[in-house]
Amino acid sequence: MKILIITLILVITVSSANAQISDTAAYLNDSIIQKKPMFVGQPLTVLIKKLKLPIYDNHEPVGYVDSFVTKETRLRLYPIEEFIYRSMNQKKTPTIVITFQNEIHIPRQLFLHGEILDEKTGWTKQKAAYWGQFIVADIRIIGI
């Protein structure tokens, strides 16, 4: 019974999301890419405040023992269930790729349970504030 309910929720979520993907692509092109000069050279919070789509999570590379260095993050505009469904069915998934001006050294401890960048919490105000402080160098849209 639980499997049936989960499957039903997944199908409904994906069905409604399918209709929004082309609109999402148009919105991202018109409101983000066309206005990119407005965001480049500014803290990421400027873009986050202007974005009219929910951010579900961001993807951060991990793998270093004590810390890792990155110059980018990817803002996911869809829930994990949709991401999995779309990946399995080779469908497009709009994602905003933010490249920062400087390398960011992030201590591994920030990814631990309950910390600012805990990967199991999704996009939170704390993550928005953390990533929002860094200056944007470039914005790309992938998955459309």
Q: What is the pLDDT of residues 99-113, one digit of tens each?
A: 999 999 888 888 888
What's the farthest any 2 CA atoms get from each other in the chain? 52
As a whole number, mean pLDDT of residues 88-106 equals 88
For 19-72, write each residue's pLDDT tens digit: 454 588 888 988 899 999 999 999 999 999 999 889 998 876 655 567 788 899
Higher pLDDT, 51 or 82: 51
Q: Where do the domains of the chain lie?
A: 2-142
Looking at per-residue pLDDT, the higher value among 21 and 81 belongs to: 81
Tokens of 120: 């199991």
Residue 135 confidence (pLDDT):
97
Other Cβ atoms closer than 10 A to 44: 22
pLDDT grade for 9, boundaries at 50, 70 and 90: low
d(C-alpha 80, C-alpha 77), whole Å: 10
pLDDT, greater one: 10 or 65: 65
Mean pLDDT along residues 127-138? 96
Does residue 104 or residue 85 have the better pLDDT? 104
For the chain, the three-class secondary structure string (H helix, E strand, C coil) is: CHHHHHHHHHHHHHHHHHHHHHHHHHHHHHHHHCCHHHHCCCEHHHHHHHCCCCCCEEECCCCCCCEEEEEEEEEECCCHHHHHHHHHCCCCCCEEEEEEEEEEEEEHHHHCCCCCCCCCCCCCHHHHHHHHCCEEEEEEEECC
How confident is the prediction for the chain on average, in pLDDT? 82
Is pTM, for the whole model, over 0.75?
Answer: yes
User: Is the CB of residue 25 less than 8 Å from the CB of residue 82?
Assistant: no
